[in-house]
Amino acid sequence: MRRKLAAGNWKMNGSIPALDMIGALKLKHPECPCDVLLCPPAPLLTHALQNTAGSPIFIGAQDCHAEEKGAFTGDHAAAMIAEIGATYVIVGHSERREGYGETDAQVAAKARAAQAAGLTAIVCIGESLQQREAEEALDVIKAQLAGSVPDGSSGETLVVAYEPIWAIGTGKIPTMDQIAEVHALMRSELQARFGDEADSIRLLYGGSVKPDNATEIFALNDVDGALVGGASLRAEDFSPIIEALARS
């Protein structure tokens, strides 16, 4: 049985006062049947961890370097993220693939480093609008999954997030059939590669998940939760998404 996951990606947003929303989430979801994760910007991680003390809310980073240490100004190693007590790291978000030219091989190397440090890697994949319109989405997903997920991954060390680029921050989402089709494909590709272990790997949908569409999305087969951007910044928005997941 896969434990559902509501993950929030704050991107380059937030502040120390904004972390007060963790207190509101703690009050609202003291015994949530699903996992709740927040990924604030790196400078806020330690404060976020202090705010989650005594609660089941997990904290993760938004990226890590593939190397253990070295001359990589501005980067942070997976072991550093683990050392402060964070437990997840997002890798391969489309904003990094597009903005920094990260390739599938680089994303896989980052995920491998994260797993070696004891973190769970959330590997993001997803097609562009042009690829969707050219009916290439499924091929793109297959290739990104094969290229970005490291060998030896398990349900403990890997989460995959399907995030169509054109749905991120736009208010547009795929049809429910399109989401279901991609998630079924991801599950079968992972099964072909990892056998029974694939059944324990959580698959998230991400891209304009909001309180008013969450219930419908979470009802789909093989959708084990969501990676949420904008709607994870305020407890008023994130909390109903967590509730919808808990009900699903």
> Which residue sits closest to ligand PEP, CB atoms considered?
229
Count interface residues toward ligand PEP (CB under 6 A): 14
Q: Give the per-residue SS3 of the chain.
A: CCCCEEEEECCCCCCCHHHHHHHHHHHHCCCCCCEEEEECCHHHHHHHHHHHCCCCEEEEECCCECCCCCCCCCCCEHHHHHHCCCCEEEECCHHHHHHHCCCHHHHHHHHHHHHHCCCEEEEEECCCHHHHHCCCHHHHHHHHHHHHCCCCCCCCCEEEEECCHHHCCCCCCCCHHHHHHHHHHHHHHHHHHHHHHHHHCEEEEECCCCCCCHHHHHCCCCCCEEEECHHHCCHHHHHHHHHHHHHC
- Give the residue with the Cβ less far from ligand PEP, 150 or 207: 207
Q: Does 230 bind ligand PEP (CB under 6 A)?
A: yes
Residues numbered 131-170 forming contacts with ligand PEP, rule: CB under 6 A: 163, 168-169
The nearer residue to ligand PEP, 86 or 227, going by C-beta atoms, is 227
Of the listed pieces 23-31, 34-42, 214-222, 228-236, which binds ligand PEP according to CB under 6 A?
A: 228-236
Give yes or no for residue 56 binding ligand PEP (CB under 6 A). no
Least CB distance to ligand PEP at residue 89 (A): 14
Stretch that binds ligand PEP, among 14-22, 188-196, 216-224, 227-235 (CB under 6 A): 227-235
- Complex with ligand PEP: residue 25 or 194, whichever CB lies closer: 25
The contact mask relative to ligand PEP for 191-210 (x = CB under 6 A, - = no) is ---------------xxxx-
Residues near ligand PEP, by CB under 6 A: 9, 11, 163, 168-169, 206-209, 227-231
